[in-house]
Amino acid sequence: MKSTTFEVGDVLPRLRHTATPLQLFRYSAVTWNPHRIHFDERYARDEGHAGVARHSHLRAALALRCVTEGLGPEWHVADVAYRLRRPVYAPVEVAYTARVTALEDDGMTLELIEEQPSGEVGFEGTVRVSRTVRDDTDGTRASTALVAGPV
Amino acid sequence: MSFTPEAGTPLAAYYAETQPRAGTVLSRRSLGTLDAVTIGRYAMTIGAADPIHYDAAAARSAGYADVVAPPNLLAAIVEWGVGTPETALGADGTPHGGEVPLGEGLRVMGAGEEMELVNPAVAGTEIVLETTLEAVTPKQTRAGACVFVTTLNTFVTAEGAVLNRNRRTVVLRDPLEES
């Protein structure tokens, strides 16, 4: 059972992940992304990369998994912003962490970090989550505390 | 401040061609219907095991109308529908000539993203995408001359409900500028 109460400074369980070339290929396939740096190692090295590059959206998806799995279904992602500081090449294990930085009425803000094996930050971002509530009119999920404008 | 790419380079040609289009709506088009298989495959590929991505009954009991996409699925899909013929792909595999200009012969990498998730994307939803070219900004970086391109992708339902506003930035550079 996950706690529904969080404090500033709380850190969600770290998500460790080793992205393999096979995962990168499948991610390219399911997103219909033909960019060769993600699945063609020879081409990627010709471009100056150290191997096949992990997709930025895959890195974001993994960081968001750290949040959604760490918080549980009572919360949902309202907005997220991130910046890529350095690439990640497969296969390598990286770790995603999320730390609560602010509490709001029906939401909170967490800092997202992708930590590379060297200890360097590969990706950093901010995510706002809101409590998930039901819409009484039709039983579907509704949200509270959504931001009014772009993050 | 007032940096511009070196004249005569592919990056300079790209910048001169693309920068005047900043601020314009590039396209508004239907992407088709988001289906449960796409949602399930995406969830499986990223390792998301929550049954709300695979099982309609589980999704409904969680309050969704049908299986629901992981948060960044809409933003992550590069090509919708059948995609681009191989003969129309650039040497790096990316589709050139689309509504978002990427620049033939330039290196392209993701740089960052801001995404507002307004409503969940569930299976069976017809998705409409409006793409605006927000900014085309040249910069001198440690890796050489670059152009940062920011697009605003707004995903809405056929009825007009906003699902996701996604502001994405990619960085382009000349191959010769790489260190």
Q: What element of type H or E holds A122?
A: strand A121-134
Q: What angle do CA B141, A123, A45 make, to 5 degrees?
A: 65
Q: Name every chain A residue with its beta carbon within 8 A of the beta carbon of B80.
A: 32
Do the domain assignments include residue B43?
Answer: no
Distance in angstroms (rounded) separating the CA atoms of residues B146 and B136: 10
Domain-located, residue B72: no
> B25-33 and A141-143: which strand pairing?
unpaired
pLDDT exceeds 50 at position A144 = no
Q: How much is the ipTM here?
A: 0.88
Nearest CA to B123 out of B36, B22, B63, B1 is that of: B36
Domain membership flag for residue B54 = no
Which residues of chain A neighbour B36 with C-beta distances below 8 Å? Answer: none
User: Using CA atoms, how far apart are residues B47 and B49, in angstroms rounded to an integer?
Assistant: 6
Look at residues B20, B58, B19 and name the one whose alpha carbon lies nearest to residue B39. B58
Q: Measured between alpha carbons, how far is residue B132 from residues A1, B118, B168 in Å?
A: 43, 18, 11
Share of chain A above pLDDT 90, in %: 75
With tokens 């409590």, the residue in question is: A131
Please name the residue ranges forming H helices in chain A.
Answer: 21-30, 41-46, 56-71
Whether residue B80 is contained in a domain is answered as no
Domain of B169, in residue numbers: 10-35+88-177
Which of 146-175 (B) contact A at CB < 8 A? 165, 167, 175
Per-residue pLDDT of chain B in tens (179 residues, 90 and over written 9): 578 888 888 899 889 989 999 999 999 999 999 999 999 999 999 999 999 999 999 999 999 999 999 999 999 999 888 989 999 898 889 887 655 666 667 887 778 899 999 999 999 999 999 999 999 999 998 878 999 999 999 999 999 999 999 999 988 988 754 44
Q: Is residue B154 part of a domain?
A: yes
Question: What are the residues facing A16 on neighbouring strands?
Answer: A95
Q: Is residue B2 included in any domain, yes or no?
A: no
How far does Cα B73 stand from its chain's mean position?
Answer: 10
- Judge: A141–B79 Cβ closer than 8 Å, yes or no: no
Count how many pairs of residues, chain A against chain B, have C-beta atoms within 8 Å.
138
Q: Quick check: A58 pLDDT over 80?
A: yes
Q: Nearest-CA neighbor of A81 among A105, A109, A41? A: A109
pLDDT higher than 80, residue A36: yes
Write down the pTM of the prediction: 0.86
Residue A28 has pLDDT above 60, yes or no: yes
Domain contains B158: yes
CB of B85 within 8 Å of any CB in chain A? Answer: no
- Residue-level pLDDT at A135: 55
Domain assignment present for B76: no
Nearest to A23 by CA among A61, A54, A1: A54
Give the CATH number of the domain where residue B108 resides: 3.10.129.10
Q: How many CA atoms lie within 13 A of B174 on its CB side?
A: 18
Q: Which amino acid is at A17?
A: H
* Total tally of structural domains belonging to chain B: 1
pLDDT, tens digit, 9 for 90 and up, residues A107-132: 999 999 999 999 999 999 999 999 97
What is the DSSP track for B15-77? HHHHGGGTTSEEEEEEEEE--HHHHHHHHHHHT---GGGT-HHHHHHTT-SS-B--TTHHHH-
Instruction: Give all domains of chain A, ordered by start, each with its CATH number.
Output: 15-143 (3.10.129.10)
Does A76 contact B120 at a Cβ distance shorter than 8 Å?
yes
